[in-house]
Structure 1
């Protein structure tokens, strides 16, 4: 698996699973009916922030991550990232590889820590992955997320020093 900078040429491969994940309403706080144009603008970040794709040996997109400063001004030393793995490739280490990549990027870029603002409580795969990579839950916003089948669940704020 290769992780490389994402380009607009990758978007046709990203959009189908991006749309599927967002429309399912189980893991992201994005609007469920986000248009493709809006999604493209939200996901493909401009420097100094970055968006990458994980690709297989044939160049097929397996997943994607965006990484950015979490805050501006005097809080701009804290990074954040978001990840989407094509469900057809879940459980194959794509998410872990993307997460490790973003941590390494943030450290090399001089960030002091990484914070995830809204990890859905009950998203056991993501929470377990992040914990295994050194993230802790700082707190949970009770009923901060309206899950389509579980109802109102918490949103974790997760953090790790770099």
Structure 2
């Protein structure tokens, strides 16, 4: 918890994780091996999942990677402009809760993904990428709101 008091540690952690997520999203966008593991055709009668699968197949996941990079840059700029030396206990509590929520979501999704893969592997890759997108973009947006308000 004491590490969360330092804005530089928060910047490093979020930058490192954002670099990993954006690299995966940008690198896999349009990669032929990635496209080959996506569901083929209109397997489900769901416009949402078919649209998300088409979004991934056309290589548009790189834009999500660029969005992650952009949000991370905005966070770094806000933190550097505020020039806060250390966060107080209230701010650390908010940061800890946001990271806890992201961690709990990750833990909850693992058994769900295992059951899904065992029962019907169609659209499993799409669901994993959708979850990763929602989770990390949600973490970054919540941190931007935190940085603006603090």
TM-score normalised by structure 1 residue count: 0.25
Q: Which structure would you say has the larger Rg?
A: 2
Structure with bigger RCO (C-alpha 8 Å, 6+ apart) = 2
Structure with greater helix percent? 2
Structure with greater strand percent? 1
TM-score normalised by structure 2 residue count: 0.27
